[in-house]
Structure 1
Amino acid sequence: LSTMNQTRVTEFILLGFGNLYSFSIIFFILLLIIFLFTIIGNLLIIILVCTNARLQSPMYFFLCHLSFSDLILSTSIVPNMFDAILLGWKIMTYAACVSQLYFYSGSIATECLLLSVMSYDRYLAICNPLRYSSIMDYKLRIGLSVWPWLVGLTVNLSGVLPIANLNFCHDNIIDHFYCDVSPLQKLSCSDTSHIDIESFLFSLPFFMFPCGLIIVTYVYIFLAIFKIPSKTGKQKTFSTCSSHLIVVGTFYGSLTIKYMIPSKGQSLLFNKIVSLLHTVFTPLFNPIIYSLRNQDIKMALKKVSKSE
């Protein structure tokens, strides 16, 4: 399964989850069901937001973009994973591997920025409700939804291009179910010391700064909620941002475990499980949380079901 030492690698072999033996079919069916629900759930949110008059507020507009980002994240990883599960490995060309890395990391970067935009929207709605409509006008709404995509997909190139320019001339076996930065670094016969520095610099605008902004906005949000005299008012106000807070906690929690905690001492199985949570379950988790905890989306779903 490996190339000769003097031969340049043109394709990679992803081992996926190793020897699942008799559990491979069960695992495949489980992931297929999750993947289908992920696609249906996120598409449903996009369709509801675009067609329902009750869901035309900025909060749902940004949620629509978040669902689209989840679709890119899921479809860039899961379909290739199916081959690795059923066959025991997945062969990917060099170009396909780099492309997968680009769309995966681009969707992650975009989602980080979108979540910070959504936290700013909740901050304005709760801490400055009288001026919310005038501040969060159509022009600002479009700008705040477009810039995460532009920044996430363009600046992301600065993190992917160094990986694309690495030389791979020894082993071509990746013990994972998708192409990620760390496994590719380990396989490369080039000097990869600059990759660690670039990865750290890349994490500043897409992880630390957005995470810091979310923390600051929620400090102000909680302070504003505590000032509300009635318990019912506090609960009603908090409910408008609780779904977003849960999604942020899940997304950044899995991201922190995977990329911010040192990988030394972590087993490959643990790393794969965290990656599975991040790439498969989180895109499904987001529409479920917003559907179960949001009355407007519940009413929109009921309206659609009744019309059918």
Structure 2
Amino acid sequence: MAQMMYREAVVSTIAEEMARDPNVVMLGEDIVGGMGTAGGPEAIGGIWSTSVGLFDQFGKERMIDTPISESAIIGAASGLALSGKRPIAELMFADFIGVCMDQIWNQMAKFRYMFGGKSRCPAVLRLVYGAGYNAAAQHSQSVHQFLTAMPGLKVVMPSTPADVKGLLRTAIRDDDPVVFLEHKALYGMKGEVPDDPDFTIPFGHARLTRAGEDVTIVSTGLLLGFCEAVADKLAQEGIGCDVIDLRTTSPLDEEAILDSVEVTGRLVVVDEAPPRCGLAVDICSLVANKAFASLKAPPQTVTPPHTPIPFARELESAYLPSTDKIEAAVRQVLGWR
């Protein structure tokens, strides 16, 4: 298997799928040049370097630099998808999704339903999300909680380069709109990636990354690594943790969560989104409703506080979930009587 970075897995998967299917196109802000850099097209391949080399391979008809208008990007992707193309639309920051919410919520997510199942909308919306870069409240948010709440959307949150490869390929080949969330702090992460050109990962199948019988820890994205670090530390004390990487929040692998909790009897959910009406409380509710008899302690959540993300480095660090906070939550459910 090849070793590559998270961002390289994004680029290579898009290139492979564009070569395989001429209907795959990509559009977004600065995906060709990037911040007005000198040197002509394909200077850096976007500010995140997730489209490097694609312009040279596929040209201006399939790599489309757009105006600074998220509503135009997503609106164009909607029309392209309805007319037989498979667009990949990139939003430079997930925070800007508010500008194009109508196109996503009232249009893309509802096309199949409103047209009686006679239409397809095979669009992938790639959103760059997450804190940790001191980019302040308007460029650091995790927006998956309200996207997950929208019927008609599939929501994907890969945590490793291998999952980027398998899940993004599945997303591009899917006939319904898929929101593909890439955490900006993971772009430099390296890992093994299967060489199989048809390697895919089905949606709705979580991944067990650590196994234990004492506590179930559920997370995804950047925070999965934090959870694994806590599980490894506690394993040295004889405490075994199941660590579950959701991979997709819609569809949600309920079975994986419930099966684990039925063994451990304890649940900790770690999420980067704010706590109110969020993914963490949704999963706790799921377990309380369907596995209550198995619980040995009240489920715990580790999330940021219900405030905007602060700019100052020290405040942002205090705002985010950490290994210390996750460990404290695990010890709390272990010590409950």
TM over 0.5: no
TM-score of the two chains, using structure 2 as the length reference: 0.26
Higher strand share: 2
Which structure: greater helix fraction?
1
Between structure 1 and structure 2, the one with the greater Rg is: 1
TM-score, normalised via structure 1 length: 0.27
